[in-house]
Amino acid sequence: MNLFFFADIIGIAAFALSGMMTGVRHRLDILGIAIVSALTALGGGILRDVLIQRIPFTFTEYYPSLTLLVVFVAAIVLKLYNKEEIERKLIFIISDTLGLIAFSITGALLGISRDLNLFGIVILGFLTAVGGGIVRDVLINRVPSILTTDVYGSVALFVSLLLALLHAAGALNGYSIFAVGSLAALLRLIAYRSQWHLPKLR
């Protein structure tokens, strides 16, 4: 559990910084930047919880909001929003990847605990991981980035589907979850390094 807790914090931090930089690039005011940053980091989990009729986790636990606040203040103090290259740094890519996978796993496991079918588990994992980014892009009036860039969303689907299949086979445990997460992280980093993209119809 501690591993997922720290991965969750890393993911929230990476997503919050990504949302903040998006807001700055689109010349939003400070409130707009804060809203976009918060929705990018926490929006997926809120959408997930609303779907399964549960009080959003963000509203019952303090650490997601505190992580968001710390990142936001630190980014302003250190003027990270002026460093566009930070999103291409290896440490940021790794943090973003850990967040993507951690959110995918927590979403899929929640779907499994609610006895959802295969489709429900996959959608819940996917939405938890990328829902915040989708909300962010809709707010700033652009096509959601997961629909046009590399295999980011595909990794979330891959994680959720594997966990659902492992559960159906009775092989879901701490070791298999860690193996799926490690495999997904490797896939994501290779895809980013090799600039893989899904095929497009022309």
Q: Residues with Cβ < 8 Å from 172, sequence gap 6 or more?
A: 112, 163, 166
Per-residue pLDDT, 60:
92
Q: Is residue 173 part of a domain?
A: yes
Distance of CA 41 to the CA centre of its chain: 7
Residue 201 located in a structural domain: no
Q: Which structural domain, as residue segments, surrounds residue 87?
A: 2-194
**CA Rg value for the chain:** 16
Residue 24 forms part of a structural domain: yes
Average pLDDT over residues 176-183: 93
Contacts of 151 (CB under 8 A, 6+ apart): 187, 188, 191, 196, 197, 198
- Considering the entire predicted model, what is its pTM? 0.86
Residue 48 counted as domain residue:
yes
Let me know if residue 116 belongs to a domain.
Answer: yes
Q: Is the pLDDT of residue 107 over 70?
A: yes
Q: Is 202 helix (H, G, I), strand (E, B) or coil?
A: coil
Q: Which amino acid is at 165?
A: L
How much is the pLDDT for 70?
93
- Tell me how many domains the chain contains: 1
Q: Which residues contact 79 (CB under 8 A, 6 or more apart)?
A: none
Identify the band that residue 172 occupies on the pLDDT scale cut at 50, 70 and 90.
very high
pLDDT band at 66 (very low <50, low <70, confident <90, very high): very high
